Structure 1
Amino acid sequence: MTTPFPARRPLLELLGILLLAATACWAGHIRSDLFIEPGKQFVLGGEQQGTFKVAAYNKGTVPVTIKERPRGGGIFGKATLAPGKHATLSFGAGSAALLLNPSAQQANLDLRVTGDTNLRMDYQPSLSR
């Protein structure tokens, strides 16, 4: 499926990241209606001082894999969230949450992040397909 405005996709991703960061500053938590393009992953955290939790609801039509990349290296599987399912996952200090969409369709998650919300946020090509 092609997007009618592919040149706007990076701008929309940047606006989503800025919205997440602004929400974290105002509310002490992050709340997001997150979209992940096919074959991409959303990276949340890494290098932060404290721990954080992600409460996720998969409101899309494709499963999303959630992994943890600890500060010391490696990648560990946490969960695969099927459409319509909820999960709350904890991540250690300095760890990054990797939310992967290995499907050919766009993924959609409702996220609430609590704890240390001074988190880096970025979209990257998925290394696990």
Structure 2
Amino acid sequence: MKTLFRLPARRVVHLSAFVGVVLLPLLGVAGTIHSHLLIESGKQFILGGEQPGAFRVSAHNVGPVPVEVRERPRGGGIFGKTTLAPGQRGVLRFAEGSTAVLLNPSAKQAVLDLTVTGDTKRLAMTYEPVSETGAAVK
């Protein structure tokens, strides 16, 4: 095996310290979440709401029913982003502090494969009953 670079031991220690102190914490901030998500009939999956940065959801609807995707901005309100038909893929971006709302108003269970990237450090996740407005049901 050929050696491409020869570094003195002192440099190797400094390089290791740089990787440990600078690069590893950055990986924690920009984490990736993979999920095979099941949403029961009449429920909605809630993702986010407390994160200081934006995040992105790459979704693939692998189930038998369409899934509605909405966004609840930090300041209030809600708006529709898209509906993923069975077999459809989509990439959706959500602003800092926003909540992604994935609704299953159908009579069958919804199934999605998700990859969430961006600010995933404090990304809350929960289920709620579906409401007409997509607002939290008390």
Scaled by the length of structure 1, what TM-score is found? 0.78
Distance 1:74 1:28 in 2: 28
80, 84, 87: which is aligned to 1:84? 87
Question: CA shift at 1:47, angstroms?
Answer: 2.0
Contact 1:39 1:104 in 2 (8 A): yes
For the residue of structure 1 that corresponds to 2:97, the secondary structure is coil
Distance 2:115 2:132 in 1: 24
Which ranges of structure 2 fall in alignment gaps of 5 or more residues? 1-27, 134-138
**Correspondence 1:42 to 2:45:** yes
For the residue of structure 1 that corresponds to 2:53, the secondary structure is coil
Q: Give the number of the structure whose alpha-carbon radius of gyration is greater.
A: 2
Distance 1:126 1:82 in 2: 18
Question: CA shift at 1:28, angstroms?
Answer: 1.6
For the residue of structure 1 that corresponds to 2:70, the secondary structure is strand
Sequence identity percentage: 63
CA offset digits 1:15-73 (Å, max 9, x no partner): xxxxxxxxxx6x92000000000000000000210000000000000000000000000
Distance 1:68 1:128 in 2: 14
**Correspondence 1:105 to 2:126:** no
**Correspondence 1:128 to 2:125:** no
Distance 1:114 1:69 in 2: 18
For the residue of structure 2 that corresponds to 1:68, the secondary structure is strand
Scaled by the length of structure 2, what TM-score is found? 0.73
For the residue of structure 2 that corresponds to 1:77, the secondary structure is strand
Q: Which amino acid aligns with 1:100?
A: L
Contact 1:102 1:128 in 2 (8 A): no
For the residue of structure 2 that corresponds to 1:104, the secondary structure is coil
CA offset digits 1:53-102 (Å, max 9, x no partner): 00000000000000000000000100000000000000000000000000
Distance 2:68 2:105 in 1: 8
Distance 1:67 1:37 in 2: 17
Runs of 4+ in 1 over 2 A off after TM superposition: none
Question: CA shift at 1:128, angstroms?
Answer: 2.8
